Structure 1
Amino acid sequence: MGTAGETSGLALSQDILSGFAAMDDAQKLDFFRDVARGMNIDPETVRSTLDAYERDPSKATYRAFASAAEPRRQELIRRLNALPGATGALVRMRADLLRLSRGDPELEAFDLDFRHLFASWFNRGFLVLRPISWESPAHILEKIIAYEAVHAIDSWDDLRRRLEPADRRCFAFFHPAMPDEPLIFVEVALTRGIPGSVQDLLVEDRKAIASHEADTAVFYSISNCQAGLASVSFGNSLIKQVAADLSANLPSLRTFVTLSPIPGLRSWLAAEGLEQPEPDQMSALAAHYLLNAKATDGAPYDPVARFHLGNGAIVHAVHSDADVSDKGRKQSGGVMVNYLYDLKKIAQNHEKFATAKTVAASAAVKTLAAGADLSKSQER
């Protein structure tokens, strides 16, 4: 941190990043703790500089306070990032920090410094939206296979079925400092009408349609690729940008929906004493869960619901037997949900959700939820 010369500073950055990459977990934990404690703020200096600013607000007193209130470890991260190619290494470093810091208050506070800097470095203005096709470089396609987190890609043939047909699209955000690393990607099916089964979308022998014949764009898989960018949100920007681009290029598209999993449903059913509901009740219970099950902050309990509703979507339709894979059965009893993105109402829905946690839903979903049988829960 005391190095003045650019060349020596870059050499030290290289030494630190190379040394960190070679460490085992115990050594990485020691490194994180040493930085967290040795480069933290000094509360007394923060208090005294704030008092000085309150007594005499000026450029000088504000600079002194701002300097005291920023941990020196933030400047360490910035200096490491001055090394060409270091951004990806720092994202991987934060992934290790998140993995190793659980339950450690000092390290969790250190992570806030990474989050603060990454929120600026990975601002939407720096991100580049790129289409991914069957013609994309092999090293990018390999990463799409590896990072797919919703519906596993079993083979190159499976990937080809998702990318090559005229009624399929894939888009990813990239950062100029990490040009070969997708940050997040979305897979899109162009369909006639709103689908209620992911297996129908992914079946091997389906007949493709011409893109201009489609009236609906279905976002059926959204995957974050970088563990080190957790809590740095750009998924909402991705969906809105893709919807806008598709709408501009394919005027026949009228509807933009997801076909989404409901990952918290099974755990909620178990907590409510409804581990084995009647099959004909699964959709109704899922609708009730999406509309009424809340976390401690008043937002929906389901993480995917929080994401899409926070983006301004509405709960449009609930489908039973929509994902009959082992994973789909395990996490939600096979039930899936369409979140509808009405491009004219996204801002309005987002505002209501942000201010009052209002869950926007179609009349059909509200009616379905009203028919949910919660008697077992009430008896318990």
Structure 2
Amino acid sequence: MRKALFIALIVFFMAFLPQPTTAAPAEQTEAGMLFGGQWALADEPGISSTNLEELPPVVEVYTATWCGNCVDVEHALDDIENDTGLQQYHIHRAINEIQDPLGSIEIDQRFIDRYGTMAPPAVVFNGTTIKAGSVPNDAASLEDEFTLLSDIHLTLVGNSSFAWVPNAEDGGIVAWSLNIENMAVPKGSSIVAQAWVVEESARFEDGSNGLENYPHVVRGIIELGKMNSNGESVTMTGNSTISLPSAYDGSDLSVHLLYQLNYATVTEETEQQSWPLVEVVVFLIVGVVGVVFFLRSRKRDQTGKSVTEFQTNPVHPVATAVQQEYQQPVAQQPVTVAQPVVLQQWTDDTGYTWRRMDDNSYFWWTGSEWKRR
């Protein structure tokens, strides 16, 4: 009894021990690439031009102020930021969120739509590779794994230019230019130029993960221009006047230029492919209607012709003699029935006389007639 109680206590306490966590490997996303990263402070003018090969790795961090293991992920990225040159953009959870005031529903929804997850932490490199969780996979540490993932280059050839001119109304003018020489993307894809407004640090002391100061908070994403990509080369340029969202606290906003590749959705592809099918169906319907109309017209002509012939060529009745044949009745001949022949005749002891016939039948004399036995 004492031994059984001891085993039960061991099992009970083991249930409260931390369980080993399975590391989630990094996976390719189904979204298009995200690249760029040129930026300027929101309250100062700025201008830059760079080759695409020199752009920093763009890292989106999906996080929340209550997420404890998000802190491990963010610290690991901070540790390799200088060596890798990566640029962080922290997207805070907002949908159905009651503990994190730093996110927005629109930005949160964009992340979910592109990458299919709403569970922090998650880190996306250049829009093409996502790492969920805070446990390294096939690496000694998160720092080592993040270093390898940030070293995956997009191998784009071309250049990008960015200019920002602030105004006195919490906004400004963004000018951009993009040239790509070797961008092979699926048919129907598009490139969208965007201005990302980032708060350098937002202080929220009530965050349950204890971080208090939350860096690189994305406060807004504003579309600047869009271009459909129909070949390997891309050239787009433009300028837009935008209004900046407010910072959570302070005045440490910055404006960043990013380019987002969007693949064609199933609906768009279906609409593009449906037009030839519609044309074929319309052609078939018109053809069938034409054939039916032709056949009806032809039948009407033939019917009218037959009626005319019937009216102009009346049919006269012809009398035909009918010959009737009569058979003479045949007289019926009497049928002769063969009578049996007497083979033996005798009188028994009682005085009755008997006959045996050739058909093996017997008759006896009743005194007036022969009766078959």
Higher helix share: 1
Same fold, TM-score > 0.5, yes or no? no
Higher relative contact order (CA 8 A, sep 6+): 2
Higher strand share: 2
State the TM bucket, normalised to the shorter chain. under 0.3
Radius of gyration: which is bigger?
2
If the length of structure 1 is used for normalisation, what is the TM-score? 0.19
